[in-house]
Amino acid sequence: MLRPLGLGDLLTGVPALRAIRAAVPDHRLVLATTAALRPLAELIDAVDEVLPARELEPLAWDGPPPELAVDLHGKGPASHVVVADLRPQRLLTFGSPGYPGPTWFPDEHEVRRWCRLVSEGLGVDADPDALDLAVPAVPPPVRDVAVVHPGAAYPGRRWPPDRFAAVARHLADAGHDVRITGGPAEVQLARSVAAGAGLGDDAVLAGRTTSLELAAVVASARVVVCGDTGVAHLATAYRRPSVVLFGPVPPALWGPPPREQHVVLWHGDGTGDPWGTELDPALARITVDEVTTALDRLLAPSGGSPRACEG
C-alpha cells in the first residue's frame, strides 16, 4: 500500500487501509510511507509493517512479489509505476493510460476517494468515518491544553501570526492553558505567536515534541485551532474539538467529517492555490472575531456548536 506523502494524507487514508484489511484479513499488510511518518503509521491498526519510502521513488522492497499492491498515492501513472514494479499478482490503481481502474473524480473528498477505490476494486464496504487513530503509548508533555498551531506547509495556507496571537490571547484570558505547536522549522513562528499573545516561552511546544508526543498532546487537548494542515487531521483522528481555517482548498475536499465538535471556517470559492507563496485571499477573509466566536460556542458548557461557517 503506497502513500508516502504528508501527515494529513496519511490520516485521510486510514479508512481505506482498514477496508483493505477487511478485504484481505489473512494477509500481511505493508504500508510504504515516509520515514518521518513511521511512528504515526505504526498506530494504524490495519498496518502490520511500515516500509520507509520517498514520493515517486522506487521502493526498497526485498521481499517476494506481493499478492496485492494498492496505489493510494495519486491518479497516476507516475505513482502506478512504483507499485507495478513490485510485480504484484494483482494491482489496484485509479484508471490511467495502461492501468485499468476506477475513474478519478477531482471534486471528490480525499477520504471518500480512497474508500471508493478500495470498495470498487476489492468489493468491500469502506467506512469514510473510520478515521480514529490509537493514542500513542508515550505520555504527553502537557494535558488538557488549548492547542494553537499556526504553521502550514505553504504560505498560502498560513493565517497571519498576529491573528493567531489574538486567538491565543483570547483563550488564555478565558482561563485556558494555551500551547503553541509546530515542527522544528516553525519554532520562530510559534515564538512570535506566543509573544504576541503575552505568553511565556513555556507555552511554545514547537520543536520540543516528537511526532508521537505531538499526537499525544492533541489526543488529550481541550481544543485545537489550526489551518488546513496535518494537526487538523489529528484532531479528527482523536475526536477532539477543533476550529479549522480553510483558504485555498475547500473543506468539501479536505475537511473533517460532519461531527459537531469540528468547526470549519471558509469564505472561498475553490479557486485558490494550495501551494501559493502568498496568503490566500479566502483565508485572509477569516477574522479573529469569527474564530473566537466559534471557540466560545464550541467550549461553552452546553457543548452546542454549529459545525461550519462557509460562504
Q: Who wins on pLDDT, 181 or 305?
A: 181
Model confidence over 175-200: pLDDT tens digits?
999 999 999 999 999 999 999 999 99
Please check the confidence at residue 271 and state whether its pLDDT lies above 80: yes
Model confidence over 65-90: pLDDT tens digits?
999 999 999 998 999 999 999 999 99
Model confidence over 154-180: pLDDT tens digits?
999 999 999 999 999 999 999 999 999
Percentage of residues of the chain with pLDDT beyond 70: 97
* pLDDT for res 302: 65
How many helices, marked H, and strands, marked E, lie in the chain?
12, 10
Q: What are the Cα distances from residue 185, in Å, to 4, 151, 188? A: 20, 9, 8
- Give the pTM: 0.94
Sort 311 into a burial class: Cβ within 10 Å, 0-12 / 13-18 / 19+: exposed
Three-state secondary-structure class, residue 239:
coil
Nearest-5° Cα angle at 203, 197 to 207: 115
Please check the confidence at residue 221 and state whether its pLDDT lies above 60: yes
* pLDDT for res 80: 97
Please check the confidence at residue 308 and state whether its pLDDT lies above 50: no
